[in-house]
Structure 1
Amino acid sequence: MNLTLNNPQTVSAPFGDRFAHVARLDLNGGALLMLAGQVAVDDHGEVVAPGNAAAQAERIFELITGILAAHGATLAGILHIRTFMTNLDDLPAYGAVRRRLLPADPASIPPASTTVEVNRLFLPGAVLEVEITAAVRTTA
């Protein structure tokens, strides 16, 4: 078992390098990836589309896709999604983006999921933060 903390080149470094974007636990035949909460920021750390849940969801999943790709994983490897929202009334907009990007095969069950409403997030204008746990298979 090997644990590494990483900030892949596929996305901008976290704010002030205060945390790792991903913790990777290598296991026999694969790895478990635990992504830090992602908010919709551009490459300069500015919030994208302040207050707009749908646009922020698009950006967040773009960041998540880049982090997963850096570790040989895809959105299909997501095991669990934890979402923090400042207003649960935004759930339909967020859910529409999620359903489009993570289409459920009719024969499969979607990833485990937790969604909670919070008073605020650490960046003004951010209305969503998404944490991901994913698996990547390194051997057949």
Structure 2
Amino acid sequence: MKVTIDNPAGAPAPAGPYSQVARIDFGTGAMLFVSGQVAIDEDGNAAFPGDMAAQSEALFVALGQLLEAHGATLADVVNIRTFLTDMNQRAEYARIRGKYLTEPLPTSTTVEVSRLFKDGAVIEIEVVAAVSSS
């Protein structure tokens, strides 16, 4: 088993002091654990403050870039955890999510939280993906 901790070049920079991807290679496969992501702008502030749809869209693009750096796509996601600051906006999030995640759908947890670590952020997403080893 080989463990690689990574902040991939070409993907959005982390919003704090953490690694964005942990890759665990074993046999002919690998698991990718992607840290929770929030939509941030070039200045490190929440992008599209309060806008669930715009933040969701930005997050799926960023998650795709992080996965791509390790030879994966959103189709390889086996688990997704979503944190919303307002469950009443879940349908808006689900509409965007449906554009990016297709059958077979990953296992999923969605919870409402009182606050995220960036003011103006209304959603945070983390994923786990399974891929063939490269």
TM-score (ref. length: structure 1): 0.91
Q: How does 1:14-93 map to 2 (within 5 A)?
A: 14-16=14-16, 18-93=17-92
Give distance in 1, aligned partners of 2:55 and 2:114.
Answer: 17
Gaps of 5+ in 1: none
Partner in structure 2 of residue 2 of structure 1? 2
1:10: how far off? Answer: 2.1
The whole-number CA distance in structure 1 between the counterparts of 2:15 and 2:39 is 13
Q: Which amino acid aligns with 2:96?
A: V
Q: What SS does the corresponding residue of 1:15 show, helix, strand or coil?
A: coil
- For the aligned residue pairs, the C-alpha RMSD in angstroms reads 1.2
Alignment partner of 1:122 is 2:83: no
Percent of aligned pairs with the same amino acid:
46
CA–CA distance in structure 2, aligned partners of residues 75 and 13 of structure 1: 19
User: Displacement of 1:136 after TM fit?
Assistant: 1.4
1:43–1:26 CA distance, 2 compared to 1 (3 A): farther
Given that residues 68 and 74 in structure 1 are in contact (C-alpha distance below 8 angstroms), is that contact kept between their aligned partners in structure 2? yes
Runs (4+) of structure 1 moved beyond 3 Å?
A: none
Query: Separation in 1 of the partners of 2:73 and 2:97?
Result: 14
Letter of the structure 2 residue corresponding to residue 64 of structure 1: L
Provide the secondary structure at the position in 1 that maps to 2:131: strand
